[in-house]
Amino acid sequence: MHRSLLEFKMETSTVDNNGTRRQANNGIAQNLPPDILHDIFSMFPLELILRCKEVCKTWYKAIKEYPSFAYLLLKRSSDHPPSYILEDIGPSTKLFFMDAADGKAREIRLDPVEMRPRSSWNGLLLCVAPRPNLHPTMVCNPITKEQIVLPEIDVPAVPENQVGIGFDPSINKYKVARMYPLGKNEEDKHSLCEIITLGENSWRKMGLPFKVLPIKTGRAIFWEGALHWICSGKEERRKIDVIKEVCILRFDISKEVFDLVPTPFSIITTTSTHLSYKFQLLDLAGSLTLVDLQEAEKFSLCQYKRSEAGGIHQERCFSFDLKPLGKRLQFYSLFGAVDPDKLLLKVSIIEENEGVLPDKIVVYSPEKERFSYLEMRGTPKSFLPTSFRPSLVSIQATL
């Protein structure tokens, strides 16, 4: 249906002697009210909507000048699996937009080009610079090319710095929070959080009521009105080992209060090891999911749901073994799901004679213990994925 409407619109136009396309006055599609156009356009792929915006002034206004249309698109797209931004971790440092349903990845460009995505919500991408203080930090919509650079802050140069973006419905504004550890000695270490509402000129410091430290490479996840970080909490010292509890720090974006969510996981470390890529936090098919990757070729997952009281509770924990894809050294990471029983894995493979091979994307069904490769043209050789749902949401409209 979407193609026939666009073709109809083009057929009701004429071309003058200068080659300029002009719309005929009797075009039925031109006279439709905005709410009808919005209902029709919201069923189109985003690429086609951007084409429709260029057809005539009526369609341009209906798409561009009604913020409600952008949120209608978001509402209808929530029923589909998310797309992803792939960060090339090779020498090019390029970014690619991946749509699993489309079967290809397309390069997207940001300004400045070295910006690295770290969080997203409602089609807005939170990016940082690869510098010790992560400045500039910016929020952008890579579809509409809108962007805003956040104020610089004086923070220690620490690699554990984590940033996340979320939406506060009580004021209809977006907020960005960043957490980082302080303290030189192990006994003195603690975390500090800073938050800013888009449109403000400065960050606000917030102390944490819990002594927790962010896990080094974990990312902030916005889910059910709150930002969530993977942290290490209480520890028990033994002869040479330290057992550290793994917990989830939850920050309600509207109330701006913290809560600590226990998990069944822990890590045994020595003085020479770090909490790093062993854990992931994901929004997996609508559930907040903590993934334990400490055992080779085995995933342990703990999923959480929102409770009626407003907090979250543990729904279920389970694990599954991964059967290797051949006799090669492989590293797995879980980054999404097509549906609850079809997980998306990134597989990094090392061949004895060929070295590191290009990363593969695999669809895995734990119930059936079945792998299938997801053919995706244009992906970089090695990449980091960020969940992303493309939209036409305007940053300026929320300032």
Q: Concatenated DSSP letters for 298-351? A: EEEEEEEEE-TTSSEEEEEEEEEEPPPSSSSEEEEEEEEEEETTEEEEEEEEEE
Q: Are 259 and 252 in contact (CB under 8 A)?
A: yes
Radius of gyration of the chain (CA): 23
The mean pLDDT of 233-238, rounded to a whole number, is: 75
How high is the pLDDT of residue 2? 46
Bigger pLDDT: 149 vs 27: 149
207 has pLDDT over 50: yes
How high is the pLDDT of residue 129? 83
DSSP code, position 358: P
10 has pLDDT over 50: no
> What confidence category does residue 325 fall into, taking pLDDT thresholds of 50, 70 and 90?
low
Computed over every residue of the chain, the mean pLDDT equals 81
Per residue in 72-96, pLDDT (tens digit) is 888 877 777 778 999 998 777 789 9
Bigger pLDDT: 333 vs 328: 333
User: Helices marked H in the chain — which ranges?
Assistant: 2-11, 34-41, 46-52, 57-64, 67-77
Between 23-37, 87-101, 214-228, the lowest mean confidence (pLDDT) is in 23-37
Between 13-17, 128-132, 143-147, 322-326, the lowest mean confidence (pLDDT) is in 13-17
Q: Are 118 and 386 in contact (CB under 8 A)?
A: yes
43 has pLDDT over 90: no
Q: Are 244 and 232 in contact (CB under 8 A)?
A: yes
Work out the percent of the chain whose per-residue pLDDT is above 70: 84
> What confidence category does residue 329 fall into, taking pLDDT thresholds of 50, 70 and 90?
low
Per residue in 348-362, pLDDT (tens digit) is 877 777 777 889 898
How high is the pLDDT of residue 276? 46
Q: Is 397 helix (H, G, I), strand (E, B) or coil?
A: helix
> What confidence category does residue 277 fall into, taking pLDDT thresholds of 50, 70 and 90?
very low
Q: Is 60 helix (H, G, I), strand (E, B) or coil?
A: helix
For 301, other C-beta atoms within 10 Å of its C-beta total 20
Q: Are 317 and 291 in contact (CB under 8 A)?
A: no
The mean pLDDT of 180-189, rounded to a whole number, is: 76
Q: Which residues, listed in sequence order, are joined to residue 227 by a DSSP beta bridge? A: 222, 251
Q: Is 135 helix (H, G, I), strand (E, B) or coil?
A: coil
How high is the pLDDT of residue 211? 87
Q: Are 282 and 343 in contact (CB under 8 A)?
A: no
Between 19-23, 56-60, 236-240, 329-333, the lowest mean confidence (pLDDT) is in 19-23
| Domains with residue ranges and CATH for the chain | 2-65 (no CATH), 93-314+379-398 (2.120.10)
Instruction: Calculate the dihedral angle through the C-alpha atoms of 33, 36, 42, 45, rounding to the nearest 10 degrees.
Output: -80
235 has pLDDT over 70: yes
Assigned token pair, 258: 């913290």
Q: Which residues, listed in sequence order, are joined to residue 16 by a DSSP beta bridge? A: none
Please state the pTM of the whole predicted model: 0.84
Instruction: Compute the distance between CA of residue 69 and CA of residue 46 in angstroms, rounded to an integer.
Output: 12
Q: Are 125 and 142 in contact (CB under 8 A)?
A: yes
> What confidence category does residue 26 fall into, taking pLDDT thresholds of 50, 70 and 90?
very low
> What confidence category does residue 167 fall into, taking pLDDT thresholds of 50, 70 and 90?
very high
Per residue in 12-21, pLDDT (tens digit) is 444 455 555 4
How high is the pLDDT of residue 182? 79
The mean pLDDT of 364-393, rounded to a whole number, is: 87
Q: Which residues, listed in sequence order, are joined to residue 284 by a DSSP beta bridge? A: 287
225 has pLDDT over 50: yes
Residue 105 CB burial class (10 angstroms; 0-12, 13-18, ≥19): buried
Bigger pLDDT: 18 vs 37: 37
